[in-house]
Amino acid sequence: MDLALSPEHTAFRDEVRAFIADALPPHLREKAATDAHFEHHEVMEWHRILYRKGWAAPHWPVEYGGPGFDVTRRFILQNELEHANTPGLSPFGLNMVGPAILQFGTEDQKRRFLPKILAGEEVWCQGYSEPNAGSDLASLKTRAEDAGSHFVVNGQKTWTTYAQFAHWIFCLVRTDPRAKKQSGITFLLIDLKTPGVTVKPFLTIGGTPAFSETWFDNVHVPKQNVVGPVDGGWTVAKALLGHERTGIASVGSTGRTIRTCKQIAARTRVDDRALIDDPVFRGKIARLEIRLRSLQMANWRALAGAQHGKSPGPESSILKIRGSELLQQSFELAMELMGHDALAWFPEPGAVLDVERSIASLFCYLRATTIYGGSNEIQRNIIAKHILGLG
């Protein structure tokens, strides 16, 4: 497999780098340089900048506002954005419900929702997991009862990331309680301003208000908000999760964290010698780089498949497992290299921190990467069944 970029793609990579250098505002560039946390309004500021450039949704069709990039240009753009540590756009609208509406939605739904998702005028969150339906998502209990022109929704969702900032939530709800677990589930779009919806944020162990609990108490939802067929939401959900799992590979983020490990090791001295010169730590860094390279190769294989029109399939579970584990391992090494300095924490809300000051918080938050998008244990079951043909 030839991994060299064509002259056209090399020119595009240079264009992306020049755009980021010119368009990223100074206050966001300062945070990017130190791996600091971006607030929601800063993420949306960058979203609008990319939207004006036409790059907010590089994978969307041209007729719905996409730039018409081939898969290699999409890969290059994402890789360069991650490499520069620009604010990561919320995936729930652009990468999840947007593609679901494109694939399964009606023309009215496409006209109503897609332009506002693209422009960042409406922010979305995900309503999948419940207190007793996490990895076993098909056990969900939130129900939607048919009331003629609308459904009446009752139940609870958890881990609804940044729901406190969202305008809409896409939910899996049970519409036929008598059907088997994967059946009788419907994909429903719910306006969070609807009476009966309650959103309550809670802190992660990393000290960030990333997650929320969301309750539905006799919430009326129009039937035109169903995406795909009633009782056919499991098919929509599986297609959506394939795209999410591919994105969790996080090649750019892991590469940046490994570079941070090198920086920490270069300036941390023990017995008058930098840790970067310690063969034990050099070996640990080298092993991470080898694993990252293999993950990059797997990403390129997925990219080659996409060039031939192949959608993400069960192989996306491989990217999810290896990518999430490698990201965690890179932060584990950063914590080890920092020693007692890894106990530093956010001194005050909104502070711009040196990268070492945020390592502990990110380390804690990223324990979730092996859980969200379908836990890694579930992904191994998918690989065994659909790739290895076992069971």
Residues identified as active-site: 244
- DSSP for residue 385: I
Give, for 213, the enclosing helix (H) or strand (E). strand 211-222
Measured between alpha carbons, how far is residue 265 from residues 148, 150, 282, 284, 333 in Å? 64, 59, 9, 11, 10
Tokens of residue 391, six digits: 């069971």
Count of residues for the chain?
A: 391
Distance CA 55, CA 77 (A): 9
Distance CA 227, CA 97 (A): 10
Classify 190 as helix, strand or coil. Answer: strand
Q: Nearest-CA neighbor of 37 among 209, 160, 175?
A: 209
Tokens of residue 197, six digits: 């919806």
Distance CA 68, CA 377 (A): 36
Gap between the terminal Cα atoms of the chain: 32
Distance CA 176, CA 95 (A): 28
Give the residue ranges of DSSP H helices in the chain: 7-23, 26-33, 40-53, 71-83, 91, 98-104, 107-119, 233-247, 251-267, 279-307, 316-338, 355-365, 376-382
| Token pair 């995936």 in the structure block, residue | 91
- Alpha carbons within 13 angstroms on the beta-carbon side of residue 80 total 20
Q: Nearest-CA neighbor of 307 among 319, 299, 317?
A: 299
Residues 351-380 as b/e (b if ≥16 CB within 10 A, e otherwise) read eebebbbbbbbbbbbbebbbbbbbbbebbe
- DSSP for residue 368: G
